[in-house]
Amino acid sequence: MDISRAIIMDVLQKVDGSRKCSGIYYILTGKKTAQSLSDSQWFKIEPYYASLKGLTVEDFNSILDELCTKEFINLKEDQVFLISEKGSNFLEKNKSYYFFMEKLNGLKYASIEHKCWQVLSLFVQSLSNALYHFLNFSPVIRDRDAAEKVKILFPRTDEQRKQVASQLYIELKIILKKCDSKSAEIFVNKLSGYNRVGHTFDQSAREWGLSRVEAVLRFRSVLHMIFYSIKEKPESYTVLYTLLGELIDIPALTKSALQTYHLLKQEKDLKEIMKIRNLKLSTMEDHLVEIAREIPDFSIQPYIRDEDKDRVSHFYNKTKKFKLRPIKEAFPHLTYLQIRLVLAKEGGKHAVGSGT
Amino acid sequence: MQLEAALKQYYGFDEFRPGQKEILEDILSGHDVLGMLPTGTGKTLIYQLAAVLLKGRALIVSPLVSLMQDQVDQFKQTGFKKTVALNSFLDQSDKRSILKHLKDYQFVFVSPEIMQNNYIRSTLLSVEWSLFVVDEAHCISQWGHEFRPHYLDLVYVKKELGDPVCLALTATATVKVQEDIQKYLGIEKAKVHIHSVNRPNISLFVESFSDLEHKQDRAIDLISELKGPGIVYTNTRRSAEQLVNLLHEKGMHNVSYYHGGMEQDERLLVQKQFLNSQLKLIVCTNAFGMGINKPDIRYVLHYHAPSNMEGYVQEIGRAGRDLHPSAAILLYHPSDLEIPFHFIENELPDHNQIDFILSDYDVLSEQTVAERLHLAGISETGQRFMEYHLNSAGVLNEKGISEDKRESLKKTLKLKIEARKKEKLRSLRMIENWIMTNGCKRNMLLNYFGEEEKNDMEYCCSGCQDDLERFYGKEEPKLLIDHEWEDELKRLFRQEV
C-alpha cells in the first residue's frame, strides 16, 4: 500500500472522528491556518503536518473513496471518516515499515526545511569539490540567500577545509546511523559533490522501487532528524549547527503571526497592534494562540488569572477532550480566547517528549 | 592581436570561430552591428569579450525568461561572475537588492517586458552602459517566428540609455526579418554580418511514418543504438514523460525528462546531471531544450515536428557545438502538426474576446481595459500582444472609451491578429512541405533562408543517402553510485578509506 494511504489512515485513527476530512486535508498539505497548526498538535500528528504537500483535493478524495471501498475506513457521518478494524490491524502489522516517519516533524520544520537543505546541499557540493581541488563546478542550488550564507561560512584554507570535512563527515554519519539504511541511502544520493550530481526524487524512487511520495518522506525524515539532533546537542554537531542553527531557531509561526509577535515584544498592546497592522480581532486572537503554542517563553499571564488557568488545565487533563464547547460550558465566565490560550500551553506540554 | 590574446586569456582558445572576430572589431570601433550566426557558434562569446575589452557594462535583452538564469549560470562558470538577471521570476527583495547594487554588475540580462516598469527603467538609466545587446533579435519582427511586441519599444530604451553601441543577434532571420531588425531598432547604419545557417557537421535525417506505433518503435530503437549524449524534443510535457517512462521500462535508466513543469530544484539537478554525463539522454519540450549548453551533444531527435523552419534550425543547433559530426533526426507523423495548429488557432484572442475586452464601459463593474484583459482567459503570448497594442493606443488603463475609438481599435486588432495567424500557418505549411518533399534536405533548408545551395558536402542528409548508422555506437556509461551510502559519504568528503 502506498505510504500516503497509510498516513491518511493513521491520521484518521488519531483524530478519531473529531474533524471533517477537509480539516485533515489542510493538515496533510500543510496549510498555515491557526486551526491546522493547533490540530496537528492536539491530535499528536505533528509528523504528518505538510507530509503530503502538493496533494490535490481530487486525489485526496479518491484515496478516501478507495480506502472506503477496501473497508480500511468507514464513513461516520457526512465528511467524517473513522478507521475500521481492518485498517487499524493493517497499520499495526506494518508498523515497523512506517517507523521512519517517527522522525518527521512537519509542524516544526516544514517552513524551514527547504532553506536548510539549500544551504546544506550547496555547502557539501562546494566543500567536496574544493577537497578534490575542482573549482569550476556548477552549483545545483541557485537561491541567493543560500549562496550568500555558504560564501560567508566557507573555510578559506586547505587545512580548514579538511578539518571541516572530517567533522561534517562524522556528524552526518552519526545522524545517518540513527536512520534506517534505505532513508540514509536516499539522503546521501541526493547530495551532490565532486564528480556527481545528486539524484532527483523520481530517480531515487525508481532506484528503490518506491513511490515518489515515499522517497520524499524518507529524505525529509533524515533532514528532520538532522534538525532535531542539532537542537538537542548543538555542541556535538558544530559544523551543522554553524550552517543551520540560525535557520532552525526561528519559531514555527505563520509570517503574519511572527510580525505580531515582534510587535508584542516591543511592548505594544493588542489595540495598538490591531491598529498598526489593520487586523481584525479574530485574526489577532489566532495570532496570540499560535504564539502561545509555539513559543514556550511566551507567558499567557496577562490574559488570564493563574487560578482560572489552573482550573481549565485540570478540567482538560481530566477529560482529554479537544473540543472547546464543553470547557466553555464549564467555565462560562471565561472567553474562548482565554480557554484557547490555556489549551495552547497544555498542548505544548504534551508535545515535549512526543517527538523523536 | 589584442583580440586573440584576450580570447586565449578568457577562454583558452587559439582561434575565433567564423564571424566572431569581424563583429568584435566593428563593435570596438564603435559601430552598431547586426549579426546573424548559426546556433552553436559562439554568439555569447562576442558580447562577453566586447564588454571586457570596452571595460564597460552590457545590458542584454533576452526573450527567454525561463532560461535566463541558466544563461547567468553559464556566464559565471565561464568566469564572468558579475552577471545577473532581472525578470518577473525574482521576488521583491531579490529585485531590490540587485537594483541597489546594479553598478557592481558587468552583465545584466533583462526581459523586454520588465523594462516597462518605471522604477526598474530609471534604475537602469542611473548607470552607464557600453553595450546594448538584443538577443534573439528576430523577435522584433512580425514576420519572425516569435514576435514579441515589447521588442518594438527597445529603440526608445536604447535612446534613453544614451545610445550605447548596439549589437543585435539572431540565429535565424530571413531577409525580410533582417530589414525589420535594423528598422525597428533604429540601427540602419549598422554593420551587417550574415553567416549561413548551414551547420556542415550536422547531418539531417527525416523519416515519415503513417503509423504512430511504428514511429515510437523507431524512436526507441534509435535511442538505444545512437551514441550519446543526445536530446529528444517532444511537443508536450506529457509526451516527454511518457517517452521517458517507456525508455525506463526498456531498461534505459540514464534517461530523464526535462521541462518547465518540474520543480526548479529537480530541473536543475537533471540539467547538471546531463552536463556531467551522468545522463545519456534528456527528453524535453521545445522551449526548454534552449537552456542546454553542452558542447558534445551527438544527436538531436525530433519526436514531433516543430512548428516552423526557424525553430527547427535553432533546436538542431544544440548538436555538435564541438564541431564533431552529429545527427539531427526528425521522425514525422501527420498528427504532429495538430498541436502547433491548435496552438496557432488559440494563442491570440478571437473576435469574441476582443469584443469583450473592448466592450462598452460598465458602470457597475468599473473595470479598466487591463482588468478585462486579465479576465478574458487568453494565453500568455496573447496577453502580451494585447497589452502592448492597447498600451500603444493609450487605452490600457482607461475605463470609458469613446465608441468610435473602440470600434476602430477592434478593427485594427482583429486585422493584426488575422495577419499574425496567417503568417504562422504559412510557416507551419513551409515545414510540412520541407518534410514531405523529396530531395536534398539541406539545400531546401538553405533555399528557405534565401541562401545558395551547397553541393560539395561529403555527408549531407537523408535525401543524399547519408547513413544514420554511422552515428551508432556505445559509450562507456558513467557509473552512478554502486556502493553503500557510507562509502559515498566518505568519497564526498575525501575521507581515507
Chain B nearest-CA distance from A231, in A, is 23
Tell me A196's DSSP state: B
Residue type for position B121: R
Axis crossing angle, helix A113-131 with helix A212-232, rounded to the nearest 10: 80
Rounded CA-CA distance A22/A7 in Å is 15
As a whole number, the mean pLDDT across chain B is 90
Tens of pLDDT along B208-223? Answer: 999 999 999 999 999 9
Q: What are the angstrom distances between the C-alpha of B374 and each of A29, B116, B363, B367?
A: 29, 18, 18, 11
Q: Mutating which of A123, A126, A138 best tests the B interface, going by the most B Cβ atoms within 10 A?
A: A138
Find the closest chain B residue to A131 by CA distance. B494
Residue type for position B385: F
Subunit contact B493:A203, Cβ cutoff 8 A: no
Subunit contact A197:B256, Cβ cutoff 8 A: no
Q: For B493, which of A169, A181, A206 is closest by C-beta distance? A: A169
Rounded CA-CA distance B351/B345 in Å is 12
* Residue-wise DSSP of A178-193: TS-HHHHHHHHHH--B
**For residue B168, what are the β-bridge partners?**
B34, B134
pLDDT for the residue A322 = 64
Q: Write down the domain spans for chain A.
A: 3-100, 113-248, 255-351
Rounded CA-CA distance B286/B298 in Å is 18
Contact between B488 and B286 under an 8 Å Cβ cutoff? The reply is no
Q: What is the residue whose three cell numbers read 575589452? A: B53
The sign one gets for the Cα dihedral B198, B202, B206, B212 is: negative
Q: What is the residue whose three cell numbers read 494585447? A: B386
Give the DSSP H/E element, type plus range, for residue B179. Answer: helix B175-185
Rounded CA-CA distance A126/A10 in Å is 40
Chain A nearest-CA distance from B70, in A, is 10
Residue A76 confidence (pLDDT) above 70: yes
Subunit contact B269:A197, Cβ cutoff 8 A: yes
Contacts of A104 (CB under 8 A, 6+ apart): A47, A48, A51, A217, A220, A221, A224
Residue B265 confidence (pLDDT) above 80: yes
Q: What are the angstrom distances between the C-alpha of A263 and each of A267, A296, A304?
A: 7, 17, 20
A3-100 and A255-351 agree in CATH topology: yes
Q: For B273, which of A139, A162, A197 is closest by C-beta distance? A: A197
Residue A356 confidence (pLDDT) above 60: no
Chain B nearest-CA distance from A171, in A, is 11
Contact between B39 and B112 under an 8 Å Cβ cutoff? The reply is no
Contacts of A135 (CB under 8 A, 6+ apart): A129
Mean pLDDT of B67-92: 89
pLDDT for the residue B478 = 58
Query: Which of the pair, A322 or A182, is modelled with greater confidence?
Result: A182
pLDDT for the residue B221 = 95
**Phi, psi at residue B299, to the nearest 5°?**
-150, 150
Asked if the C-beta of A126 comes within 8 angstroms of chain B's C-beta atoms, the answer is no
Complex ipTM: 0.84
Subunit contact A197:B276, Cβ cutoff 8 A: yes
Residue type for position B79: G
pLDDT for the residue A8 = 94
Q: What is the residue whose three cell numbers read 537523408? A: B462
The sign one gets for the Cα dihedral B437, B438, B441, B445 is: negative
CB atoms < 10 A from the CB of B367, how many? Answer: 16
Q: For A140, which of B248, B269, B494 is closest by C-beta distance? A: B269
Q: Mutating which of B265, B275, B276 best tests the A interface, going by the most A Cβ atoms within 10 A?
A: B265
Strands in A37-167 per DSSP E: 73-77, 80-83
Give start and end residues of each alpha helix (H) in A16-73. 21-28, 34-42, 57-69
pLDDT for the residue A354 = 31
Q: Mutating which of B489, B490, B497 best tests the A interface, going by the most A Cβ atoms within 10 A?
A: B489
Asked if the C-beta of A325 comes within 8 angstroms of chain B's C-beta atoms, the answer is no
Rounded CA-CA distance B476/B13 in Å is 28
Q: Which residues of B84-114 are buried (b: 16+ CB within 10 A; e: fewer)?
A: bbbbeebeeeebeebbeebeebbbbbbbbbb
Asked if the C-beta of A123 comes within 8 angstroms of chain B's C-beta atoms, the answer is no
Subunit contact A124:B492, Cβ cutoff 8 A: yes
Mean pLDDT of B467-480: 78
Tens of pLDDT along A78-128? Answer: 899 999 999 999 999 998 898 899 899 988 898 899 999 999 999 999 999
**Phi, psi at residue B292, to the nearest 5°?**
-90, 125
> Which range, of A17-31, B326-340, B481-495, averages the lowest pLDDT?
B481-495
Subunit contact A165:B494, Cβ cutoff 8 A: yes
Residue A353 confidence (pLDDT) above 50: no
Subunit contact A131:B493, Cβ cutoff 8 A: yes
User: What pLDDT band is residue A351 in, cutting at 50, 70 and 90?
Assistant: very low
Q: Report, at the CATH architecture level, how domain A3-100 is classified.
A: Orthogonal Bundle (1.10)
CATH superfamily of B2-194: P-loop containing nucleotide triphosphate hydrolases (3.40.50.300)
Chain B residues in contact with chain A using a Cβ-Cβ cutoff of 8 Å: 69, 73, 77, 94, 97, 248, 253, 256, 264-266, 268-270, 272-273, 275-276, 278, 480-481, 484-486, 488-495
Tens of pLDDT along B94-108? Answer: 888 899 999 999 999
Query: Which of the pair, A346 or B353, is modelled with greater confidence?
Result: B353
Contact between A250 and A233 under an 8 Å Cβ cutoff? The reply is no
Class of domain A255-351: mainly alpha
Find the closest chain A residue to B73 by CA distance. A138
Q: Write down the domain spans for chain B.
A: 2-194
End-to-end distance of chain A based on CA atoms, in angstroms?
25
Q: What are the angstrom distances between the C-alpha of A18 and each of A23, A79, A321, A344?
A: 10, 11, 10, 18
Find the closest chain A residue to B492 by CA distance. A128
Q: Is there a cis peptide before residue B229, judged by omega within 30 degrees of 0?
A: yes
**For residue B226, what are the β-bridge partners?**
B472
Q: What are the angstrom distances between the C-alpha of A287 and each of A302, A340, A354?
A: 15, 11, 24
Asked if the C-beta of A153 comes within 8 angstroms of chain B's C-beta atoms, the answer is no
Subunit contact B69:A165, Cβ cutoff 8 A: no
Q: For B94, which of A144, A193, A203 is closest by C-beta distance? A: A144
pLDDT for the residue A355 = 30
> Which range, of A228-232, B189-193, B399-403, averages the lowest pLDDT?
B399-403
pLDDT for the residue B65 = 83
A&B contacts, CB < 8 Å: 84
Give the DSSP H/E element, type plus range, for residue B168. Answer: strand B165-170
Chain A contacts of B272, Cβ < 8 Å?
138, 140, 192, 197
pLDDT for the residue A258 = 82
In Å, how far from its chain's centre is CA A70?
30
Chain B contacts of A215, Cβ < 8 Å?
none
User: What pLDDT band is residue B476 in, cutting at 50, 70 and 90?
Assistant: low
Chain A nearest-CA distance from B485, in A, is 5
User: What pLDDT band is residue A250 in, cutting at 50, 70 and 90?
Assistant: low
Subunit contact A142:B97, Cβ cutoff 8 A: no
**Phi, psi at residue A51, to the nearest 5°?**
-75, -25
Chain B contacts of A189, Cβ < 8 Å?
481, 485, 488
Rounded CA-CA distance A89/A99 in Å is 16
Rounded CA-CA distance B286/B302 in Å is 9
Chain B contacts of A191, Cβ < 8 Å?
492
Rounded CA-CA distance A50/A29 in Å is 4
